Amino acid sequence: MKKILDYDIDKVHIFKNIKESTRKELIKRGKIKVINKKDILFYEKEKIEKIYFLLEGKVSTFKMSEGGERKVIFILKQGEMINEIILDEVKTSTVSCEAFEKSLVLEYNIEEFIGIVENDFGLSKNIFNYMERRTRRLYRQLKNSISIKIDKKLAAKLYRISKEFGIKSGSWTLINVNISITYIADMLGCKRETLSRAMKNLQDEGLVKLEGKKIYVKEMELSNYFKGN
């Protein structure tokens, strides 16, 4: 396990504008581990005694349905908090986490981390703000998954992914993350065949372009499409 360095602290979003004494304690207590693509960091309902942050790479969080189908909740990138801070005695995770690609993860013992948080209101405030944004993301996902045609669900999902990982390429935006049709189907909780038909419809509408494994989108047009404008 690698030892955390000072520059690693600056990669974590919620560690901005905190006390210098807090920074030193975070450096002292933190540990870094490497996880390779497809490695499982933790499973749903597993007891977790640690809090994890992503320093490099990408991970995905997901849940399994009763029928054994995977539903991807988030793709997380550098600087994000991976799991929630669990305060009850059970401390079981609500989701599973898998490395989307080779990644560096910063970890803390949960009790030690809570002790650090208690002594820095700025850090506490950052955590509240971060969790509020994550909750809003979940609300948007829920809104886009209820009584909406799969075409519009896909348009909404591609739009959100492009806002997080997109790179402008002329009139198009390249989704700069390696996601397959199967993986997007997992994100939407539908069959691959259903997703492929919806993707073809968006291509026919001129909203999406596929070049090999690369996905290009037109952000504004996608937004108008799933909003019904």
Tens of pLDDT, residue by residue over 60-117, are 999 987 777 888 899 999 999 999 887 777 779 999 999 999 999 999 999 999 999 9
Of the residues 127, 144, 161, the one at which a domain ends = 144
**Residue 217 Cα distances to 9, 141, 154, 166, 169, angstroms:** 34, 19, 12, 9, 10
Q: What domain range is 62 assigned to?
A: 2-144
Residue 41 has a pLDDT of: 97
CA–CA dist 77, 24 (Å, integer): 24
Total tally of structural domains belonging to the chain: 2
Q: Does one domain contain both 118 and 10?
A: yes
Q: Does one domain contain both 119 and 48?
A: yes
Mean pLDDT confidence for 48-56: 95
Residue 88 has a pLDDT of: 74
CA–CA dist 42, 5 (Å, integer): 24
Q: Does one domain contain both 71 and 120?
A: yes
Q: Does one domain contain both 140 and 154?
A: no
Q: Does one domain contain both 162 and 105?
A: no
| Cβ-proximal residues to 220 (8 Å cutoff; 6+ apart), any chain | none
Q: Does one domain contain both 14 and 114?
A: yes
Q: Does one domain contain both 188 and 162?
A: yes
